[in-house]
Amino acid sequence: MAEFQFIEQIKQKTYNQSSLIKGIGDDAAVFRERSQDIVITKDTFVEGVHFSKKTMTLYHVGYRVLAANISDLAAMGATPLFYLVSIVIPNQYEQNELRQIYEGMKALGSSYNIDLIGGDTVSGQELVITVTAIGKVVDNKVRYRHTSQVGDIVFVTGMLGDSRAGLHLLMNELKADDRDYFIKRHQMPEPRVKFALSMCELNRVTLNDVSDGLVSEVSEIAEASNKSIVLVDKKIPTYESFSQFAPDQQFDWKYFGGEDFELVGTVAKDDWTKVKQCANDSQITVNEIGYVIEKTDYPVYIKEENNVKQITKRGYIHLK
């Protein structure tokens, strides 16, 4: 199929964003925003590395790669506006398969009223999908990683480890309690945009999204803020039936699983009630999971009963 025909098929018939001046169809897209900070992010998915057709349909692949980008915008406190898609297509792919990728992206995109405004199409050895997403932030309320302070509460939205549990069930073709729940959490994650935006009244919130795993994300906050963070093991939120998995799997998945696309952050104690209210208004859960301390030898520690252990991004634990 000619590239032109393909682009005609995936192109939106109408656009949602009023700031858009030119979408798909010229050498580049054009939009006009006044006095807003513009936030841009990009994620790349490679077949065989970031996804396999064994555990995901192409619809889910599209859904997920866009979700990863929207989640990054949420973690910056940004309202998503637009996205662009670069795709490397191997010969054996049929046009209806490629359309499914875009169907998945459009399904998620339309729930945020965001528009596909451009991209690039080339052929190559393996399927590669790169999405660039653009958002805006008003009133200088960008949520950076470097703003944590000693005494802050560390919080996380939703449940952790679900996505990794879902992947495990798919890869090993296992039955389990709430199998559909875990698989859906893996294939169709929900970026926490509404919650992030609902905190716009708060002056200082540090945010990061859980793409690589809780310990990794919390380390990034601690390092950027020049602090250390203690996570309280029994407070890490997991789904009721998560307890059906082996203890070492539970530990591994909740701390290192990643791809839950929940938001982890820190906030002053005085603002914690407001954060809980924002979660309530956004119909999600939020839990206090730890606290920020002065910088010590390691960025992240885990408190189990009266034992405090350091934990590295790779997961090795040493007694302190």
Confirm or reject binding of residue 87 to ligand ADP (CB under 6 A). Answer: yes
Exactly one of 121, 241, 249, 310 binds ligand ADP (CB under 6 A); which one?
A: 121
234-267 residues labelled b (16+ CB within 10 A) or e (exposed): eebbbbeebeebeeebbbbbbbbbbbbbbbbbbb
Tell me the residue nearest to Mg ion as measured from the CB: 27
Which residue is it, tokens 């939703």? 158
- Contact between 85 and ligand ADP by CB under 6 A: the answer reads yes
Stretch that binds ligand ADP, among 23-31, 41-49, 222-230, 251-259 (CB under 6 A): 23-31
Separation in Å, CA 213 to CA 103, 159, 306, 312: 28, 12, 24, 11
Residue 62 touching ligand ADP (CB under 6 A): no
Binding to Mg ion in span 254-273, by CB under 5 A: none
- Which residue, 120 or 240, is less far from Mg ion as judged by CB? 120
By CB under 5 A, is residue 27 in contact with Mg ion? yes
Residue 87 or residue 229: which is nearer to ligand ADP going by CB?
A: 87
Residue 70 partner contact from ligand ADP, Mg ion, none using kind-dependent CB cut-offs of 5 to 8 Å: none
Stretch that binds Mg ion, among 27-35, 58-66, 80-88, 202-210 (CB under 5 A): 27-35
Q: How far apart are CA 154 and CA 148, in angstroms?
A: 9
What sign for the dihedral angle of Cα 255, 256, 259, 261?
positive
Alpha-carbon span 102 to 62, nearest angstrom: 6
Please report whether residue 24 would count as binding ligand ADP according to CB under 6 A: yes
Cα-to-chain-centroid distance, residue 271: 24
Beta strands in 138-221 (DSSP E): 153-157, 205-209
Binding partner of residue 87 among ligand ADP, Mg ion, none, CB under 5 to 8 Å per kind? ligand ADP
Asked if residue 124 binds ligand ADP (CB under 6 A), the reply is no
How many CA atoms lie less than 13 Å away from 153 in the CB half-sphere? 17
Q: Which is nearer to ligand ADP, 24 or 138 (CB)?
A: 24
Q: Tell the smallest beta-carbon distance from residue 193 to ligand ADP (Å).
A: 22
268 token code pair = 């002053």
- With CB under 6 A as the contact rule, which of the stretches 63-71, 119-127, 163-171, 263-271 interacts with ligand ADP? 119-127
| Nearest CB to Mg ion, comparing residues 27 and 294 | 27
* Binding test (CB under 6 A) with ligand ADP, winner from 33, 120, 180, 304: 120
Considering only the stretches 22-30, 44-52, 151-159, 286-294, report the one whose residues sit in contact with ligand ADP under the rule CB under 6 A.
Answer: 22-30
Element at 219 (helix H, strand E): helix 214-225
Site string for Mg ion, 103-142 (x = CB under 5 A): ----------------------------------------
- Looking at the Cβ atoms of 24 and 202, the one nearer to Mg ion is 24
Taken in order 285, 207, 62, 27, the sign of the CA dihedral is positive
Specify whether the backbone of 87 is left (phi greater than 0), alpha (psi in -120 to 50) or beta.
beta
Among 18, 27, 174, 247, binds ligand ADP (CB under 6 A): 27
Half-sphere CA count of 244, side-chain side, radius 13 A: 16
* Shortest distance in whole angstroms from residue 132 CB to Mg ion: 17
With vertex at residue 320, the alpha carbon angle to CA 250 and CA 268, rounded to the nearest 5 degrees, is 75
Residue 265 in contact with residue 206, Cβ under 8 Å? Answer: yes
Residues that bind ligand ADP (CB under 6 A): 7, 10, 24-27, 85, 87, 116, 118-121
